[in-house]
Amino acid sequence: MDLFFNKIHDYILNHNLVTAGDSILMSISAGKDSMALFHVLLALAADLKLDLGAFHLNHMMRGAESDSDELFLTELCDRHSIRLFLERHDFKKNKLKKMSFEEQARNHRYSSLEKIRNEGHYDKITMAHSRSDNVETILMRIFTGTGLYGLRGVRPERNHIIRPLLCVSSREIYGYLNDNSIPWREDSSNSLEEHRRNYIRNKIIPGIEYRFPMIEESIISIADYANENEKLLESLTCEFMEKTVEKRVDGIYLRCGDLKGNLRLMRFLIQKILRDEFCISIEKHAYEQIFKNIFPVKKRKSLYKKTGIEIEVQLINGIEFLKINNHPTMKKMNSGWEYIIDLGSSDPCEVYMKEPGITITVMSVDYEYFKIHKNENSAVFIELEAKTSISIRNWKPGDRMETEAGTKKIKKIMNEKKLDMDFKNDVPLLVFNNKIAAFMPGIINGRSNRVGRDFIVTGGGKKIIAIFRKFD
């Protein structure tokens, strides 16, 4: 085997990305990175007894070129006896308002991958991001604003998603493909510089590389240092967090009075809470406003209310606390949980639900969008008279839903689907006016959802609300 293969092989083993006997779902295009990953994993499959599958999403954005990519991959997988999951989705006709094509395509791709992973019992999903992609990501974050955590770049593993090519550059990938006579297809849209990543790749990096040839190595070195320092900061503040941070049903409480003389530490703790518990970050100026208004604490006051969360300060038994919770707010409910969403004031609305550990997007869509996506288990659609408040919560004993076959207990529906007890407590229910509008296990693990009789979409002119899972 050549140096390229050995480099990736060692990277996979050193980061424990793959275990012998794993079943792996490859997310592939017909481009150079995907073809390199495909053939490397194909070579590894015999030694590690890997079970390989592949997924391709045809965006239908480039006409015949997109269809040719699909045919290229179909023939490739047939030759190597790899099962290929194909999906065609016309993103031009189904463009979502207030969402870029890149974000919409990414969410759709990850949703489909997660569904296939669950239904096909795959252990890992591989993405073909290279070291050069990582450099582009870090530069984009620098140009748009980031901190130490963002400088870490893309990491090799997150949950069950792995990125084995992060150790090799685009130049190395081209060399490997050419040396081994491996064909690939170029995506003509990669030259369109209205996309930020393309502009950085085609304009900014070559300009810098002309004077500083080691740009990739230098930026990845910065990412490695950022990762080490982030881990160091977390270990140094771990004991302090245990003493000052308390998780309660209605939010996260930070004893801010203990940090009056160290606002830098307070900011780090808030950042960590927002990142770990709510999967979001907020702008630098927001912290400036928070610290400007936080002291003195005389009564309860709101300091920040945006991006799905609320930060407020309050006195409890004479102790100064900073409270962070979801906005829409999370209510205490008999050892359960609930998120209230006001569609009249926020559409689309994004909410991180920490109990099942997922982020959802709730938004209005039209009937054409519903017809195309109605069979996706990671999305749920209901019909309402008007935009109003809805809630998402877990089930309670006695919950019932009006189905087309009559009234049915939620507990019975869960038993029919053979859900275990731990998962039952995480299944979200969509509630409107004290009626259960939808039972939604699909947005967690790809199982089928059920919509209440009075909320089934008919296309009769009512508001159509979509609830779908967002993937990083």
Q: How confident is the model at residue 332 (pLDDT cuts 50, 70, 90)?
A: very low
> Is the pLDDT at 188 greater than 80, yes or no?
no
pLDDT in tens, 208-244: 989 999 999 999 999 999 999 988 988 888 888 888 8
Higher confidence at residue 424 or residue 121?
Answer: 121
Per-residue confidence (pLDDT) for residue 189, from 0 to 100: 73
DSSP string of 253-315?
EE-GGGGTT-HHHHHHHHHHHHHHHH-----HHHHHHHHHHS-S--S-EEEEEETTEEEEEEE
- Give kind and range of the element (H or E) at residue 465: strand 463-470
- Dig out the tokens for 212 from the structure: 């500083």
DSSP string of 2-60?
-HHHHHHHHHHHHTT---TT-EEEEE--SSHHHHHHHHHHHHHHHHHT-EEEEEEEE--
**Residue 229: exposed, middle, or buried by beta-carbon count in 10 A (0-12, 13-18, 19+)?**
middle
Per-residue confidence (pLDDT) for residue 334, from 0 to 100: 40
Domain 3-219 classification at class level: alpha beta
> Is the pLDDT at 371 greater than 80, yes or no?
yes
Q: What is the 3-state secondary structure (H, E, C) of 390-402?
A: EEEECCCCCCEEE
pLDDT in tens, 391-444: 898 888 888 898 888 888 888 888 877 776 667 778 899 998 888 999 988 887
Higher confidence at residue 14 or residue 348?
Answer: 14
Q: How confident is the model at residue 1 (pLDDT cuts 50, 70, 90)?
A: low
Per-residue confidence (pLDDT) for residue 98, from 0 to 100: 59
| pLDDT more than 90, % of the chain | 36
Per-residue confidence (pLDDT) for residue 333, from 0 to 100: 39
> Is the pLDDT at 354 greater than 80, yes or no?
no
pLDDT in tens, 29-68: 999 999 999 999 999 998 889 999 999 998 877 888 888 9
Instruction: Give the rounded distance of the alpha carbon of 72 from its chain centre.
Output: 29
Domain ranges of the chain: 3-219, 249-326, 338-470
Per-residue confidence (pLDDT) for residue 372, from 0 to 100: 83
- Dig out the tokens for 259 from the structure: 């940090």
> Is the pLDDT at 344 greater than 80, yes or no?
no
Q: How confident is the model at residue 298 (pLDDT cuts 50, 70, 90)?
A: confident
What are φ and ψ of residue 414, in 5° steps? -65, -40
pLDDT in tens, 84-111: 999 888 777 776 665 677 777 777 888 8
Per-residue confidence (pLDDT) for residue 281, from 0 to 100: 80
> Is the pLDDT at 352 greater than 90, yes or no?
no
Per-residue confidence (pLDDT) for residue 347, from 0 to 100: 67
- Dig out the tokens for 265 from the structure: 């530490």
- Give kind and range of the element (H or E) at residue 329: none
